[in-house]
Amino acid sequence: MMDIEQYLRENKPEMPEEGQFLIETNARLRNVEGVKQCVDEDRHRGRTALIIALATGLVLGCLVTLLAVCYPVPSMGAGSAAFDTLIAGLQAWKEVFIALIAACAIALGVVLMTRRQEAL
């Protein structure tokens, strides 16, 4: 395999004027910096939106839970046997539902962390 330095000495490629080369290189560097700045701004906006959505969801979830605890819905009374059976079934399996939701949240957290590490 031929050495690159030897190859360049033998072929003597044409080089543009030094001033023009530096001007073009600086222009390309400015373009790259502009793209980098746009990407950084998009990431910042995305993170800000994510934090705002998280805070809003947390506050609204707490408010809805508080309202549900303070003002429970009265039962419908007679004639709603199917609804009462459904509620009884949900109450019997509530631990399973909570465990499934927790498992999904943990899995989502693991996926997001691995994607974040891959991006770095």
Rounded distance between C-alpha atoms, residue 82 and residue 91, angstroms: 14
* Mean local confidence (pLDDT), 75-82: 65
Residue 41 CA to residue 47 CA, distance in Å, equals: 10
The radius of gyration of the chain from alpha carbons, rounded to an integer in Å, stands at 31
Tokens representing residue 88 in the block: 């009884």
**Cβ atoms 21, 15 nearer than 8 A:** yes
pLDDT band at 77 (very low <50, low <70, confident <90, very high): low
State the pLDDT at residue 111: 86
The pLDDT of residue 78 is above 60? no
Q: Domain map of the chain by residue range?
A: 15-72, 76-120
2 pLDDT above the threshold of 50: yes
